[in-house]
Structure 1
Amino acid sequence: MDKISQLPDELLLKILAMLPTMKEVVDTMLLSKRWQFLWMMVPRIKYNDTYKNPKYGSFSLFVDRSFFMHEAPVIEALHFKLGSICGSEDIQAWMRSADKRCVRELTIQIDTFTDKDSVLLPWSLYGGGCRILVTLNLINAVLVDDFTSPISFPSLKTLSLKSMKYPSGEFVKNLLSKCHVLEDLVVEQCQADNVNIFTVIVPSLKSLVMKTLDNRVGNDTQGFVIDAPFLENLDIFHSSGFCIFENVMTKILDANVVVNSWKLWKKLGSIASFKRLYLCVPSSKDVYPAGSVFTSLVHFKICTCETEWVNLLMCVLRDSPNLRSLKLQQCHFLRSEKPRPCWNPSWNEPSSVPECFLSSLETFEWVHYEGAQEEKEAVAFVFRSAKCLKKATINIYSKTNDIHKKLEVIKELFSSTRLSPACQLELR
């Protein structure tokens, strides 16, 4: 311990910040005089009322005292993980203290999962409090409205809202409109969030993740409306409903699109800027405007869980003249009991070979390859047509993990495909 104590304060504070909770940080004051006041300057604070099951009175009092005695001029991160023993009144008091402590990153995570134990976050959190807050993460809590006070997040650049409940869709729209410098937004909707149309109108936004992770029944009144002209990264995981892009977004580089239904979706807008694209959609029709070309696309990944994945794959390959990397992977359980599609023989014609196969495709990877008929024909088509392929990786999957079954799949793979000697083949 003497050798550790000789380290500079800056390094010791980094070590203290790695401890599980503030309770362990404060306990270090007992080690020696060198450590007696060091805990008061730790830049990252974590409180957890579910850790070692403390009693309500002792935990609340500990937070009050330790936070009051803290002397760091700026708190880089403040994390509250709260279960059933702390509630809205406690958080309200702690938020007042947080505003005075110049907190840059704030996380409030509620670990209760029933409406009876719902925790309301105080209006002071977003009604003028925490003025220098740069990052805000809220998980499984309830936001409330106060029509008499304005929302203010003048410095907020990163916002994450997971399994939150809101007063209304209009409240959400107003909340985001007050984040004038917001660049990164993550939204994971829960079933009881009270928002049918989640509207995101943020001109400064660069990265957006929108997910619906519940089993709500999709209809014409549920979905997303997105207006973010400078968006560079888009991640959509949508179990139902619709998504509307109000304006063409010409700066998107990364796009991940996973949806159960394409019926109500408006088209993605400009796709010419996409460099990396991941798709998992139930239909190959109207995914993007006819005649569009992915002129910048170099990395493409497609999920093979949908019945029309082959058709969608060929559409994108046809419209991606500069593609260099192609990855096929079954990322989800098969979504339909319909027979898996067969490879269309007409695509064997030379005139149907995608341009990227002739001039640019260098790497090909297939994860969760099972050796089904359409998979064998797809692999054969790629190996036969991709003239510039340098490396191919096939990850063979067997439901029973039977080594003999895997060997049979490998034998069929070699007997039905022809690969250029210049291409390195790796089987896993």
Structure 2
Amino acid sequence: MGRFEPELNQSTSKKQKIELDAGDRISYLSDDVLVSILSCLPIKVAATTSLLSRRWRMVWTFVPRLEFDGSSTLLKIRNRTYGSMRTDKFIDSEKVRFINMVNHFVELYPLPCIEEFRVCFDLNRSHKPDIDKWVKFVFEKKAKRVELDFARLIGLYPLKRSLYTLCPLSLGLPSSIPLTSLVLKWVDVSDQVLDNFLSNSPFLECLCVQRSRTLVHVRVAGPSLHLKSLEISRCPNLRSLQLHATNLLTLKYFGPQIEIPFENVPNLTTLSIGDYLYPPPACKLGRILTFFPQLQKLALYIDDVKGVRRKRREFPLMSQLKQMELCVSASDWILDSLLFLSYWMNACPSLHRFALDLMWESPRGGRKMEKGRRIVHHSLKEVEITGFVAEIVDTELCMFLMESAIALEKIVLNPNPLRRKGGPFENKDINPNRALTARMRAQHLKFKYNLGDKLVIM
């Protein structure tokens, strides 16, 4: 507990012992143990323990992580009042309450250093004075992990909202900072500020920037760079991304189609590229993947399925790949078959897990079932298909996987798309009749291939 330990570890007074009844064993634990326990709780809950007794009054202030996540509260307000005139008033009052709460904790925090500071709430440029105060607190306390997530609640604000701009230099903060992780979502950050973070954070291992409109030319390079994980997502004005990071292991890029020097990240083991806003060009997928023969996990969004099918034989040999996650835009005029994936499977002999998320506009039928190439896959053990509607396209792929993967241990079929996972409607079917049909046909496959407990129908 550092220099504060003697103050907290004074012998328990007689009055305190009276307060601690015979059934209260936790309060007799050492301060270090109590702080460890409170560290597992949300900071708001941890602070309420100060009401228990004198023994607990200040213990919560020594928790090394401050996490403030009010997004679930706003979602509840939106779901209860959406469409009514009271929605904005509820949201505004909740913002005032949330900001006051964070300010209260920041002002009371006694330790000279902090491990982690995280804020997730719908905030913007109008809250700049308070956010500036938090940013100054974070860097003065030498925080190691920082996350600012000011995500917009869909349906409540226009897309062109004013974002908070992070400018630590204007706050007179130190140039050298001990950051190991920096996550910025719905925060505007300039090329210069980002470059300063990379140059002056010698221990930085994780960097994530989402939705920044002021990023244009990003440069992640340097001989002393220790960065291991990088995410640049949905920054609409991005024009270039220079990469020269030999320690980089994980790269996630969702953004405009730009030339990226992938050859300068030779040790990459995890790559995620493209989403529904920024699908990667089908003609370049094969060339991109040739840079990563050591890749172990690959996540792709596929919009131009026909283009990918034409380039299917260009999929390079990826002998180390163990996980493949695909999200496919499944419109009725594009998606007529997924059996081209048999070529990809054949090029990935060590593949252990395969996940497919189908984003249907309208399922396509009207043709006979086909069979994929006759291959035997010895390593594939786990398959998960979300957005499974049991039409010809996804059923014939399932049959191919069930026949080819001789080591298959588990296959999950879920009628609901992955984008619903973790949301308020996760367990509600988009189309109940279609979902019921899909589950019935999945049961038929279960009996046909004698899968037993291996097939899980969600």
TM-score by length of 1: 0.68
Q: List per-residue Cα deviations over 1:75-103 (Å, max 9, x = no partner).
A: 33345678589955555566666555444
> Which residue does the alignment assign to 2:353?
325
Q: For residue 344 of structure 1, report the CA deviation from its aligned partner.
A: 9.7
1:230 to 239, 243, 247: 247
Q: Which has the higher helix share?
A: 2
Q: For residue 273 of structure 1, report the CA deviation from its aligned partner.
A: 0.9
Q: Which has the higher strand share?
A: 1
For 1:267 and 1:316, how far apart are their aligned partners in 2?
Answer: 15
Would you say how many aligned residue pairs link Structure 1 and Structure 2? 379
Q: List per-residue Cα deviations over 1:274-329 (Å, max 9, x = no partner).
A: 22222222242798994731011123232343446726523321311232333333
Q: For residue 212 of structure 1, report the CA deviation from its aligned partner.
A: 0.9
Q: For residue 156 of structure 1, report the CA deviation from its aligned partner.
A: 2.1
For 2:407 and 2:290, how far apart are their aligned partners in 1?
Answer: 31
Q: For residue 385 of structure 1, report the CA deviation from its aligned partner.
A: 3.6
2:300 to 244, 267, 279: 279
> Which residue does the alignment assign to 1:76?
115
Amino acid at match of 1:426: L
For 1:363 and 1:18, how far apart are their aligned partners in 2?
Answer: 32
Matched, 1:261 2:285: no
Q: 1:10 to 1:329 in 2, by over 3 A?
A: same
For the aligned residues, what is the CA RMSD? 4.6
- 3-state SS of paired residue (1:209): strand
> Which residue does the alignment assign to 1:384?
403
1:196 to 182, 205, 216: 216
Matched, 1:298 2:298: no
> Which residue does the alignment assign to 1:353?
374
Matched, 1:180 2:202: yes
- 3-state SS of paired residue (2:342): helix
> Which residue does the alignment assign to 1:409?
441
> Which residue does the alignment assign to 1:163?
186
For 2:125 and 2:108, how far apart are their aligned partners in 1?
Answer: 18
Amino acid at match of 1:275: Q
- 3-state SS of paired residue (1:75): coil
- 3-state SS of paired residue (2:299): strand
Amino acid at match of 2:227: L
Q: 1:245 to 1:310 in 2, by over 3 A?
A: farther
For 2:227 and 2:349, how far apart are their aligned partners in 1?
Answer: 29
Q: Is the 8 A contact 1:322 1:360 kept in 2?
A: yes
Q: Is the 8 A contact 1:248 1:269 kept in 2?
A: no
Q: Is the 8 A contact 1:343 1:374 kept in 2?
A: no
For 1:382 and 1:47, how far apart are their aligned partners in 2?
Answer: 44
Q: Is the 8 A contact 1:163 1:189 kept in 2?
A: yes
Structure 2: runs of 5 or more not aligned:
1-18, 71-92, 416-428
Q: 1:276 to 1:262 in 2, by over 3 A?
A: closer
> Which residue does the alignment assign to 1:313?
341
Alignment of 1:366-381 (within 5 A): 366-381=385-400
Q: 1:229 to 1:395 in 2, by over 3 A?
A: same
For 2:440 and 2:59, how far apart are their aligned partners in 1?
Answer: 64
Matched, 1:208 2:230: yes
Q: For residue 73 of structure 1, report the CA deviation from its aligned partner.
A: 4.6
